[in-house]
């Protein structure tokens, strides 16, 4: 199973919102911190510079979902 980078989020809050949208569509998500992003979580409680990965077979659907979410076509509360 090959994982592909879907998006880089500025912090855990943004990452969690996007993860919720993807998981509501049954798309598995893997979260990984870049550089010192995970160290920031230890000191501040909020991770930074977060990459979200999805399976290669789900990449196009995931991109479309996030585009619709960011354009306001999907309501976050309706998705979770």
**Closest residue by Cα to residue 10 from 36, 47, 59, 53:** 47
Q: What is the pLDDT of residue 28?
A: 97
> What would the pLDDT profile of 4-62 be if each residue is shown by its tens digit?
999 999 988 999 999 999 999 999 999 998 876 555 565 556 667 899 999 999 999 99
If pLDDT is split at 50, 70 and 90, which confidence band does 64 have? very high
Residue from 65, 64, 3 nearest 28 by CA: 3
Average pLDDT of the segment spanning 58-77: 84
CB 56 within 8 A of CB 6: no
In this predicted structure, the answer to whether residue 73 has a pLDDT above a threshold of 50 is yes
Tally of CB atoms within 10 A around 59? 17
């Amino acid at each position: 199973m090959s994982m592909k980078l879907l998006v880089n989020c500025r912090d855990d809050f943004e990452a969690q919102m996007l993860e919720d949208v993807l998981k509501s569509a049954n798309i598995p998500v893997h979260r990984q911190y870049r550089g010192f992003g995970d160290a920031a979580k230890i000191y501040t409680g909020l991770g930074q510079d977060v990459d979200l990965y999805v399976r290669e077979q789900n990449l196009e659907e995931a991109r479309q979902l996030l585009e619709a979410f960011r354009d306001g076509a999907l309501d976050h509360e309706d998705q979770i």
